[in-house]
Amino acid sequence: MRYANYPIRLLAYLFDQLLISLIPLFILLYIVNTCQNLWLGLLWLIWELIFLQWLLSLLYQIITFKYLNGSFGKLLAGLRIEKEDGSTPTFGDCLMRFAAGYTVSGLCAGLGFFWILKDPKKKAFHDHFAGTVVVKKSSPLPLFLGLIFIMVISVIMIINIITTGTRTGLFQKSGQEFMGFTENIKKIFEDKPKTTPLPKKYPTSPTIPPLPLKNSYTL
């Protein structure tokens, strides 16, 4: 049994992430072209990076692992995910492999992925958690062709977004709005009433002269 090494698995993972990113990128392109609102596009991009990318990756990886024995990137690379006894991973194995294994590997500064370089069966942390191995079945040539294709599509979409924003003046308008926003914030702090500091020593009160005594009467 030939186990998949680190470089080919990294390229397959890169292909999967680029493929998943196409959906949010299409939506961002629609926002820029239709809504003409760069700030809405930036908010969408931030939300996509924080939450949507992880959710799409979770669904994508579990479905492809379960029904195809590997993601599209791994299939193009000629790789398959199997249990150590050669059986197909269960749904629980697929969920554990991504939700727990990938998350732990990422939180450990990628140590879980680099563990492939040391492990005799080329197993990452998520493989150990799910009891799986990644094996070579065929040539990885289709993966390289797929990477080139998907990278070209991504570059074309990014160029389209940039040219659309430049042609319609969207970037300039958004820049002016941002400058106006910063000026308003600066003005708020500049117009803040200044409090007069108290003197270090209070002035002493003037001395009150004593009241004159009343004339005494003698009997």
pLDDT tens column, 98-126: 877 777 777 776 788 888 999 999 999 88
Q: 198 in a domain, yes or no?
A: no
- Secondary structure of 50-97 in the HEC alphabet? HHHHHHHHHHHHHHHHHHHCCCHHHHHCCEEEEECCCCCCCHHHHHHH
Q: 205 in a domain, yes or no?
A: no
Q: 86 in a domain, yes or no?
A: yes
Q: 210 in a domain, yes or no?
A: no
Res 72: pLDDT: 93
Pair of tokens at residue 104: 């732990």
Q: 17 in a domain, yes or no?
A: yes
Q: 139 in a domain, yes or no?
A: yes
Indicate the number of domains in the chain. Answer: 1
Q: How many residues does the chain have?
A: 219
Pair of tokens at residue 60: 């994508």
Q: Which DSSP string corresponds to 121-138? A: T---HHHHHHTEEEEE-S
pLDDT bracket for residue 219 (50, 70, 90):
very low
Res 182: pLDDT: 65
**In the block, residue with structure tokens 């300039």:** 172
The amino acid that residue 170 corresponds to is: L
Return the half-sphere exposure (C-beta side, CA atoms, 13 A cut-off) of residue 166.
Answer: 6
Q: 181 in a domain, yes or no?
A: no
pLDDT bracket for residue 161 (50, 70, 90):
confident
Q: For residue 87, with 0-12 CB atoms within 10 Å meaning exposed, 13-18 middle and 19 or more buried, which class applies?
A: exposed
Calpha distance 60→94 (Å, rounded) = 11
Pair of tokens at residue 30: 């629609």
Q: 151 in a domain, yes or no?
A: yes
pLDDT of 89 above 70: yes
Strands 132-136 and 79-83: antiparallel
94: containing domain: 6-171
